[in-house]
């Protein structure tokens, strides 16, 4: 499953690219606007590009209703999967106290948002994680060295490169012809940074006050 699921996901995204870019090309042809000048990123793709393409189809109102209903259900289904994972993890940790209060737990988790998935995380080193895998599978997978290299070096390096490149290439935020003011960008950076800062702050707190082993452990 660890190989098949990502492979199917990549192939699905690749196939979806044909749909997206064929639609963008069609709109560019109909309007005479070059593709680089179209609003084809972020919300513009969903709320401007696709509605424009749907408007050219027969029974356009019907297809518009089906498209946005599908969009809503896909987002809702994604949230169900994420929230159910967090709820089950919390209840499994405290079954006797929380099992009869599942509705209340779900309410708290939904209000807590993206930070809730950190409640069931465990900050541990690569050796402990290897021990967990050996305990669950009864053996160490033959691809373990590759996974260890990716977790320890490749993935952090790639993420650091992407973040650095994004900061170097940063440009003012705009939507169509409207350029957002600096204060709006500052508010956005604060909103994006607060959830992310919780992870290093909690990690530092656990390492300084709670950890019993060294940094690698």
Annotated binding site: 9, 77
Residue 24 burial (CB count, 10 A) = 18
83: which 2 tokens? 């929230």
Q: Could you tell me the CA-to-CA distances from 35 to 23, 25, 55, 157, 159 in Å, in that order? A: 11, 7, 19, 33, 29
Annotated binding-site positions for Na(+):
9, 77
Beta bridge partners of residue 179, listed in sequence order? 174
Give the whole-angstrom CA distance, residue 122 versus residue 136: 16
CA angle 86, 154, 7 (to 5 degrees): 60
- Rama region for 42: left / alpha / beta (φ>0; ψ in -120 to 50; rest): left
Residue 8 burial (CB count, 10 A) = 10
132: which 2 tokens? 């967990």
Specify whether the CB–CB gap between 64 and 54 falls below 8 A.
Answer: yes
The HSE-up count of residue 86 (CA atoms within 13 Å, CB side) is 20
Phi, psi of 174 (to 5 degrees): -140, 160
């Amino acid at each position: 499953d660890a190989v098949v699921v990502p492979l199917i996901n990549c192939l699905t995204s690749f196939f979806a690219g044909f749909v997206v870019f064929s639609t963008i090309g069609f709109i560019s042809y109909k309007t005479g606007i070059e593709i680089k000048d179209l609003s084809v990123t972020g919300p513009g793709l969903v709320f401007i590009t696709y509605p424009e393409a749907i408007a050219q189809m027969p029974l356009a109102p019907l297809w518009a209703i089906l498209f946005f209903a599908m969009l809503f259900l896909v987002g809702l289904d994604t949230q169900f999967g994420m929230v159910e994972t967090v709820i089950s993890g919390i209840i499994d940790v405290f079954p006797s106290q929380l099992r009869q209060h599942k509705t209340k737990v779900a309410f708290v988790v939904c209000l807590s948002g993206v930070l809730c998935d950190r409640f069931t995380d465990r900050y541990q080193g690569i050796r402990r994680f290897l021990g967990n895998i050996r305990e669950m599978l009864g053996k160490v997978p033959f691809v373990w060295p590759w996974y260890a290299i990716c977790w320890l070096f490749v993935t952090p390096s790639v993420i650091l490169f992407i973040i650095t490149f994004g900061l170097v290439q940063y440009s003012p935020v705009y939507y169509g012809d409207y350029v957002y003011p600096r204060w709006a960008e500052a508010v956005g950076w604060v909103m994006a940074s607060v959830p992310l800062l919780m992870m290093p702050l909690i990690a530092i707190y656990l390492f300084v006050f709670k950890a019993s082993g060294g940094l690698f452990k």
